[in-house]
Structure 1
Amino acid sequence: MYYSLCSQPWLMPDDASWHWQESLSEHWVTPARLSALLPDARDWLSRHPGQRYLLHSDSALHFSAALLACWEQGKIVVLSPDEHPATLAALQSSTDQTIPTRLPARESHESALVSQPQARTMDASAIAVELHTSGTSGQPLKVVKHFSQLDNELGVHAALWPLTNACVISQVSHLHIYGLLTAILRPICEKVPFSNSQTRFPEVLLQHLIEVQQHAMPATIISSPAQLSRMPDEVLGTDVPPVTSPQRLFSSGAPLSQQDAIRSESLFGCEVIEIYGSTETGGIATRRQSQAAAWDPLPGVTISNVDDCLCVHSQFLENPSQPWMQADRIQLQGQTFTLLGRQDRIAKIAGKRVSLGRVERLLEDFDKVTQLRCIDLNPQHDRLGMVVAMSPDALPQTHAERQALQQQMQAHLARELDPISIPRYWRLVDSIPLNSQGKPDRIAISRLFADLYDRSLPRWLGQSRPDANTAICQLEVPFRLASLEGHFEGLPLVPGMVMVQWGCDLAAEAFAPLGDFRGLSRLKFQQILQPGQRLTLRVERKPHCIAFSVTSALGRHCMGQLDFSGLAEKTIP
């Protein structure tokens, strides 16, 4: 059964039929566990007065308790779009308090006033939360959501796809509107358990599915194209215990390719439902690609074509009487529509307006190119950067091969563009970095060009996490790398200890906290690494060390083991 947010379902007495939920492991948030933590959240708020509270906990349990406690007291919750220190610092300057990522226990358990809040009616017109756009088409923008908007959308979801007795497993961040609605608020409003953390790794997803099956309950998976496109075929293969198919699987953040949509339905044995929308609009439309490629507007949403772009009228908007223009081009087909891509992004380079979308489209037909992202590198460089994703077998491995391909692409663009519109800085990768919502990750894409501004850095070309104990990073040795100076004249090469430092840096980024560095063992340097070479840096967390290796198309360059004081018992099985 669905209860509206304004009815405050978390304050309703638990039904006896829900007691089975308490036998679930600590990886789940249940109504009883949420109720048990709420007094701690109320106590913290009572000792930290304010009106606007920054919330960015990655724990669904602590996030939910803090969120609901704020709403009970009429506070506005501000969500950070990411965990980057600069983003958090900027938001902290505009909020009164920052809620701890883990709520401390109450100092006193005697205050009935704190443990049980005074009954108050929640105002549907009040601001519930401030979110921020992902910034993929510019700087992140603030978007406010009122309780009425959230309740309207939650009610539509519950009517279309009820969670009756289901457990919700999330692979996405709840700091964005999609994860907030589907992975946090829906299970709270429908009184069902939900996962306490993002199940980013396939093996963790499988463990959750097995546990749900042991309780004879259906699962609903909240996912994204970033997760589903990388889901291994063997996640539910013959070498694992039989797993009951989920009730359904949701995907949002970006359109899922038809291949991945159909493959996911076959892999999980359930319907894959995509939701299209934005932070500003909430959900707009839905589709199931195994049945149709076009998008169907959600109940309460009407659409029209204005200058070839999508115009939305929706009860999920802050002002439902005002239409909202999306920057997405569409083709209407009766009451459904097809997405044709984003309206052109415009950059101003040396005083001239340049369409980034046009630059990308001119290269779409290049052989083996899978994705393109043109970015404005202002203000540091008054030129454009281009990220070209190619199939792994086509990626050039040597500097000469990369230069030749880059010159071919620049010559191709020169037929249509003036020189200032042709990207000067190029990065060839196997995939465009995506955020947890499946959209191009603005900060990670900027990192591809970080070596332009800091000569101590290798050229970062992306990284992946095959599992919880492994991180793999693609790098290139820039000719401008500072550590090449004096090492050696006539034959520049990367010092061995610089490669070791790269291993330490990746381990710290992937597995923090590691504690103090205590030494090296089994260190081998097997061949030199020179400027222009592309390499793969791999670190693997073991019970008592971090194993690392540096390899390239020429073979292994370096390997060894790193010892840190905090490693014991850190390995995730």
Structure 2
Amino acid sequence: MIALHDVLSVAGDAAGLKTPVCRDGGVVLDRAAFRARVAGWIALLQTRDAQRYALCIDDPFDFACALFALFACGKEPVIPANATPGYLADLADAYDAVLTDADLPLFVASDSAEAGANAAANVNAATNANANAEATPTAYAAHPIDPQAPLTLYTSGSSGTPKPIRKTLAQFNAEVHTLERQWGALVGDATMLASVPHHHIYGLLFRVLWPLAAGRAFDRAISLEPLHLQQQIDQGGATVVVSTPAQLSRWPALPGFAALTPAPRAFFSSGGPLALDAAQEYAAAYGAAPLEIYGSTETGGIAWRRQDQTDAWQPVAGIEVRRDEDGALNVRSPHLDHRGWHRTDDQIALDADGRFRLQGRLDRVLKLDGKRVSLPELEARLARHPYVAQAALVPLEGATRERVGAVVALTEAGSEALRDEGRVALAKTLRRYLADYFDVVVLPRHWRFRATLPFDARGKLPVAALAAAFEPRSEGMEVLAEARSGDTLHYDLRVPPTLVHFAGHFPGLPILPGVVQVDWAIRLAADHVPAARAIASVDRLKFMAPVAPGAVLKLTLAHDAERRRVQFVYKLSGRECASGVIVYREPA
């Protein structure tokens, strides 16, 4: 292990320069290539006056190179959660300039001794072309970095508004050394594979900074699914997977899940709790459940668990925890910018062994018709019903009163109840169950049923994404319910009366166009089968009955992976009104 502020200062001996940094397919980019690439970024940045840079680089290797070049130049990196124009506009006061993947061209370097020279030649050429630099950068020159160099990340906060979290490189350095002490022996020389971006603290630490400081490679590609993981394993051998509960819960149902060879040494998960049944599937397939990491952008990592051993959270080495009188978790950690106690909004119960269990958020309490209700308490109770795998509640704006909406991911039994009894009956069943524990005025009045909850790339459940479940999608349809049975998906879709596609189709007798129904089927199929976006044809297309504004359609999507096709059937009031087969191309 080296200190992060010494990454550009350690001796440039031949052995050290061959230390792996990044695996790009069958190519290994070593420290020589890394330092040469950083030198090119430094030469470019030295020609610019801007001090604060929004770092919007998707390629993790170039991101790491640009990040340390900014540190070396005494400039301040700002890492937005995403690079969408609207999001960057909201943060316009936080940065002076933006760095993207387009600022320097990609380069190709072999894993031979010539890697550093090839990289240096490329970055020098890019620097001369783009920055008119007067001096050629020295690829292996030492560049001192201030250990207290600032870095700003953004989190959504409880309100959903981007919240800046200003940290120092020293805080990240403390955390990567903690990670190495805790799990370095388990990880060993494994390549870090990731399904998470590096624009948030979890991905930044586990995907980029920890391997960089420990001298192990991170993979340049995002790991999308088990078959892709196997390709990366075939190229790199020993691996560790860095992912989120949303991804890890989905993978066991995909081809190749239990056949990864050699098996990853560990699966890391963060961003929220991993469902117990998913943890058990990993334990059955690989002998151990994923290592779940609990923490926040403000605090860094706090605790960990493996659910095949316990559901309680064990503080990470060097972290102290305590419980306030109101149940709030307090943390004292070397990853903070002070030595005192940091109060969180998570409520916990401590056990005799110093471990804790989460009991919801203290900052999610509403008053409905004069009654106070804790949304986490409602969620926890709802999650105990045999029909419910996970539940999230969200306040909804109403014309006359505040409302609560429930977004529920169903168990297999819940999905069966949805198919057999219908959406309305299922919602009534869950309301009756909650009524045994809560005043009826605080119960959810609006329900959406899903195969999975709308976790983002960080494994979080954004308030905006939950609220969006109660609005029509951008394509027009309103998804009331979604359930899975094997390779088949079942939907209840409401057709909004104000749908733009009714205009002119037809005057006086509006009918939903058939092409819209096909488009909806393709889009919903692609949500769960990304390959379905590459349409080869739509076969056996039939339209048997018209669909009027306000109709509630039942849509079934049956996926045949071997034949690369998805059969869809729409029903209206129990009768088929449209059907067809979506055929998609074989991946290139």
Asked if structure 1 preserves the Cα contact closer than 8 Å seen for 2:53 and 2:99, the reply is yes
* 2:451 alignment partner, one of 430, 453, 457: 430
Distance in 2 between residues matched to 1:500 and 1:178, nearest whole Å: 39
* 2:246 alignment partner, one of 213, 216, 226: 226
**Equivalent residue for 1:277?**
295
Asked if structure 2 preserves the Cα contact closer than 8 Å seen for 1:275 and 1:286, the reply is yes
Q: Secondary structure at the match of 1:208?
A: helix
**Equivalent residue for 1:566?**
none
User: For structure 1, which segment, 547-556 or 35-44, has the greater mean C-alpha deviation from structure 2 after superposition?
Assistant: 547-556
User: In structure 2, do the counterparts of structure 1 residues 103 and 88 end up closer, same or farther at CA, with 3 Å as the change threshold?
Assistant: same
- 1:476 paired to 2:497: no
Gaps of 5+ in 1: 564-569
Q: Secondary structure at the match of 1:440?
A: coil
Q: Secondary structure at the match of 1:334?
A: coil
User: In structure 2, do the counterparts of structure 1 residues 121 and 324 end up closer, same or farther at CA, with 3 Å as the change threshold?
Assistant: farther
Q: Secondary structure at the match of 2:295?
A: strand
**Equivalent residue for 2:147?**
124
- 1:311 paired to 2:330: yes
Distance in 2 between residues matched to 1:5 and 1:462, nearest whole Å: 48
TM-score with structure 2 length normalisation?
0.78
Describe the superposition over 1:202-241 as per-residue Cα deviations: whole angstroms up to 9, x where unpaired.
111111112222xxxx322222222222222776578x6x
1:146 to partner: Cα distance: 0.9
1:2-151 mapped onto 2 (5 Å cutoff): 2-9=1-8, 12-13=11-12, 15-16=14-15, 19=18, 25=25, 30-105=30-105, 106-108=126-128, 111-112=134-135, 114=137, 121-127=144-150, 129-135=151-157, 138-151=160-173
Q: Secondary structure at the match of 1:299?
A: coil
Distance in 1 between residues matched to 2:520 and 2:211, nearest whole Å: 42
1:184 to partner: Cα distance: 0.2
Q: Secondary structure at the match of 2:94?
A: coil
1:192-231 mapped onto 2 (5 Å cutoff): 192-213=216-237, 218-231=238-251
**Equivalent residue for 1:337?**
356
Distance in 1 between residues matched to 2:196 and 2:142, nearest whole Å: 33
* 2:317 alignment partner, one of 258, 275, 299: 299
- 1:355 paired to 2:374: yes
1:62 to partner: Cα distance: 2.0
Asked if structure 2 preserves the Cα contact closer than 8 Å seen for 1:31 and 1:188, the reply is no
Distance in 1 between residues matched to 2:477 and 2:392, nearest whole Å: 21
User: In structure 2, do the counterparts of structure 1 residues 117 and 15 end up closer, same or farther at CA, with 3 Å as the change threshold?
Assistant: closer
The letter of the residue matching 1:244 is P
Describe the superposition over 1:402-427 as per-residue Cα deviations: whole angstroms up to 9, x where unpaired.
22333454566567766763433321
Q: Secondary structure at the match of 2:146?
A: coil
Distance in 1 between residues matched to 2:257 and 2:409, nearest whole Å: 30
**Equivalent residue for 1:525?**
542
Distance in 1 between residues matched to 2:5 and 2:254, nearest whole Å: 43
Distance in 2 between residues matched to 1:118 and 1:18, nearest whole Å: 12
User: In structure 2, do the counterparts of structure 1 residues 112 and 330 end up closer, same or farther at CA, with 3 Å as the change threshold?
Assistant: farther
The letter of the residue matching 1:436 is A
Q: How many residue pairs are counted as aligned between the two chains?
A: 547
**Equivalent residue for 2:200?**
176
User: In structure 2, do the counterparts of structure 1 residues 494 and 10 end up closer, same or farther at CA, with 3 Å as the change threshold?
Assistant: farther
Gaps of 5+ in 2: 106-125
**Equivalent residue for 2:343?**
324
Asked if structure 1 preserves the Cα contact closer than 8 Å seen for 2:239 and 2:265, the reply is yes
Q: Secondary structure at the match of 1:195?
A: strand
Describe the superposition over 1:477-532 as per-residue Cα deviations: whole angstroms up to 9, x where unpaired.
235352457868999753202224436767999989x99x9x98757224447421
User: In structure 2, do the counterparts of structure 1 residues 379 and 139 end up closer, same or farther at CA, with 3 Å as the change threshold?
Assistant: farther
User: For structure 1, which segment, 31-40 or 531-540, has the greater mean C-alpha deviation from structure 2 after superposition?
Assistant: 531-540
Asked if structure 1 preserves the Cα contact closer than 8 Å seen for 2:192 and 2:219, the reply is yes
Q: CA RMSD in A?
A: 4.4
User: For structure 1, which segment, 76-85 or 342-351, has the greater mean C-alpha deviation from structure 2 after superposition?
Assistant: 342-351
- 1:153 paired to 2:175: yes
1:314 to partner: Cα distance: 1.0
Distance in 1 between residues matched to 2:23 and 2:139, nearest whole Å: 25
The letter of the residue matching 2:350 is Q
Asked if structure 2 preserves the Cα contact closer than 8 Å seen for 1:475 and 1:536, the reply is no
Percent identity of equivalent pairs = 28
Asked if structure 2 preserves the Cα contact closer than 8 Å seen for 1:464 and 1:472, the reply is yes
Distance in 2 between residues matched to 1:246 and 1:383, nearest whole Å: 45
User: In structure 2, do the counterparts of structure 1 residues 326 and 441 end up closer, same or farther at CA, with 3 Å as the change threshold?
Assistant: closer
Asked if structure 1 preserves the Cα contact closer than 8 Å seen for 2:488 and 2:556, the reply is no
1:246 to partner: Cα distance: 2.9
1:456-475 mapped onto 2 (5 Å cutoff): 457-460=476-479
